[in-house]
């Protein structure tokens, strides 16, 4: 019983650490985005980012366009400018390939 509880607590802590890691990356990218004028609504763009363990960005690939090529390009530039990306608190949470999504009005 104690082992199950300890495993569940460890999984929760790891999940929180992973969310904090993703949040730090989103924040850094968001701070580097220069939004183009005339964006309507809250379009979503999705990118695949390949990185080194140091957080240095190797490649950025658009997976799903927001429908606004200027916004897509601005987000891609922001991801590249954000290199090196923040590293996770726990090295085992590092992922070489990340899927990042961006919406202009998300916090």
Residue 32 scores a pLDDT above 70: yes
pTM as predicted = 0.85
> In DSSP terms, which residues pair with 57 in a beta bridge?
51
One CATH from 3.30.1150.10, 3.30.1490.150, 3.40.50.300, 3.30.420.40 for 2-102: 3.30.1150.10
The predicted model gives 102-106 an average pLDDT of 89
Q: So what's the pLDDT on residue 3?
A: 80
Which residues, 6 or more positions from 24, have their beta carbon under 8 angstroms from its beta carbon?
Answer: 86
> What is residue 48's three-state secondary structure?
strand
Q: So what's the pLDDT on residue 38?
A: 86
Q: So what's the pLDDT on residue 74?
A: 97
């Amino acid at each position: 019983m104690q082992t199950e509880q300890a495993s569940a607590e460890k999984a929760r802590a790891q999940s929180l650490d992973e969310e904090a890691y993703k949040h730090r990356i989103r924040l850094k990218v968001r701070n580097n985005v220069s939004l183009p004028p005339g964006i309507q609504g809250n379009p979503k763009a999705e990118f695949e980012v390949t990185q080194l363990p140091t957080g240095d960005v190797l490649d950025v690939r658009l997976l799903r366009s927001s429908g606004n090529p200027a916004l897509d390009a601005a987000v891609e530039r922001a991801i590249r400018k954000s290199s090196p990306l923040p590293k996770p608190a726990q090295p085992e949470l590092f992922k070489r390939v990340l899927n990042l999504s961006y919406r202009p009005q998300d916090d």
